[in-house]
Amino acid sequence: MTTANRKLTEAVRLMNARGLAGLVIYSDGTCNILRASYLRYFADVAPMGSNNAVVVSATGGVTLLVQPAWDVARTRRRTWIDDVHGADHFDEALTSALHRLEIGGRVGLAGGREMPQAAYAALVRSAAVEAADEIVETIALDKSPEELALVRRAAAAADAGFEAFRQASRVGVREFEIVAEVEHAMRVAGADDNFILLSTGPHNRAMRAPTDRRVAPGDIVIGEITPVCDGQFIQLCRTVSVGPPTAAVVEKYDLLLDAYSQALDVVRANVPASIIASTIDGVLADAGYAEYCRPPYMRTRGHGFGIGSVAPGALIDADTEQPLLDQQVVVVHPNQYLPETGYLACGETVLVTATGAERLARTETRLYVNSV
């Protein structure tokens, strides 16, 4: 069975199990690190416009509505869905698709948080609508070989991005120039989009968007590098010292590496995701930094990544009760502000397996030092 047929077959099975007559998978055309696109995942195509939807009937009929209408030709070349329609007048197109596929009664909606009020109002005039994000999330739990290959391609792009980040972190280079080098390297390596945060300085407070600040001797350069390949995300969190690091930076980065290593040791399928946060916090608390294990000194110890991951788009903290599952993609990072060093970045994305965490990146997680 092809990946496309598997997705459609599973969608129909899950719809029928819930007694749904239809399923609408909506996208506003965006795909970001905390809210991956259900439509992009299901239809294997990235929409260009601001209103798009896959409509599936309980009998297996499926159509794809795209905006703008002139994007139909490109979409047909890329998606497995044969029936593709332009939807410049989206509300009317959505209603027509429901009628064409003879869908009435209860309809599930995936991606409803993105849907504008006008489109939602048109949908509820034609059907009894209920949230159904979990249908797509459930399908995505079973990663195909093609999807896993995309995850690994994204990891290779992240490695290329970090090497560019490391080389560009030198005296006199402006922050936005570092990001430009990273962007170029990851695009060449196969990424189709990127999200990058960084900060430079002797005592960073947090990572942020780049500025025109120039790197100076003695700076600590921290970065969060996140490429995406066809909807699959990978993230690396790395720290570079421009010139010899202080003894405090070396000592505290070793502390974060210990927390990171211990967290990786406990990651495996069927353990609660909270174990990541509690393990990292425990290491830092034992070192006397318990008060820094909460905002504003840190934001999260990791997060689910992409569709089918734990708490998709949400933070992983000590209260995240959901279990980690086999083949989920999860970021583990004890990124941390410490009073002696400022903010340090440490960690990366792993693939959860029944026996542990599989590192996806090839670059070593350590403190990197560039010569001045």
**Tens digit of each residue's pLDDT (9 = 90 or more) over 326-364:** 999 999 999 999 999 999 999 999 999 999 999 999 999
- Same domain, residue pair 211 and 255: yes
Same domain, 159 and 95: no
Supply the CATH number for residue 355's domain. 3.90.230.10
pLDDT reading at 317 higher than 90: no
Do residues 87 and 39 share a domain?
Answer: yes
Q: Per-residue confidence at 35, pLDDT binned at 50, 70, 90?
A: confident
Give the domain-ending residue among 89, 120, 140: 140
The per-residue b/e assignment along 2-15, b for 16 or more CB within 10 angstroms, e otherwise, is eebeebbebbbebb
What CATH code is carried by the domain that includes residue 46? 3.40.350.10
Number of separate domains in the chain? 2
- Is the same domain home to 62 and 190? no
Does residue 3 carry a pLDDT above 70? no
Long-range pairs for 117-125 at CB < 8 Å and ≥24 separation?
Answer: 118/91, 119/26, 119/51, 119/90, 119/91, 119/94, 121/91, 122/91, 122/92, 122/94, 122/95, 123/24, 123/94, 123/95, 123/98, 125/95
Its pTM stands at 0.90
Same domain? 351 vs 334: yes
Cis previous bond, 68, omega within 30: yes
**Residue range 228-272, pLDDT digits in tens:** 998 888 999 999 999 999 999 999 999 999 999 999 999 999 999
**60: number of Cβ within 10 Å:** 12
- Kindly indicate the confidence band of residue 311, based on its pLDDT and cuts at 50, 70 and 90: low
Q: Are 233 and 246 in contact (CB under 8 A)?
A: no
pLDDT of 2 higher than 80: no
Please tell me whether residues 105 and 158 are part of one structural domain: no
Among the candidates 140, 167, 193, a domain finishes at 140
Q: What is the biggest distance separating any 2 CA atoms in the chain, rounded to whole angstroms?
A: 69
pLDDT value for 104: 87
Give the pLDDT mean for 91-100: 95
Residue 348's CB is within 10 A of a number of other CB atoms, namely 25
Q: 10 Å Cβ neighbour count for 226? A: 26
Which tens digits make up the pLDDT trace of 177-217? 999 999 999 999 999 989 999 999 999 999 999 999 999 99
Task: Report pLDDT digits (tens) over 135-189.
Answer: 999 999 998 899 999 999 999 999 999 999 999 999 999 999 999 999 999 999 9
Q: Which domain holds residue 276?
A: 145-370
Q: Is the domain of 12 the same as that of 36?
A: yes
User: Does one domain contain both 121 and 196?
Assistant: no
Choosing from 123, 140, 157, the residue where a domain stops is 140
- 222 pLDDT band, cuts 50/70/90, is very high
Give CA–CA dist 372/218, Å, rounded.
8
Q: Are residues 245 and 356 in the same domain?
A: yes
Same domain, 83 and 151: no
Which residue type sits at 342? G
- As a whole number of angstroms, the distance between CA 55 and CA 171 comes to 53
SS (H, E, C) the chain: CCHHHHHHHHHHHHHHHHCCCEEEEEECCCCECCECCHHHHHHCCCCCCCCEEEEEECCCCEEEEECCHHHHHHHHHHCCCCCEEECCCHHHHHHHHHHHCCCCCEEEEECHHHCCHHHHHHHHHHCEEEECHHHHHHHHCCCCHHHHHHHHHHHHHHHHHHHHHHHHCCCCCEHHHHHHHHHHHHHHCCCCEEEEEEEEECCCCCCECCCCCECCCCCEEEEEEEEEECCEECCEEEEEEECCCCHHHHHHHHHHHHHHHHHHHHCCCCCECHHHHHHHHHHHHHCCCHHHCCCCCCCCCEEECCCCCCCCCCECCCCCCCECCCCCEEEECCCEEECCCEEECCEEEEEECCCCEEECCCCCCCEEEECC
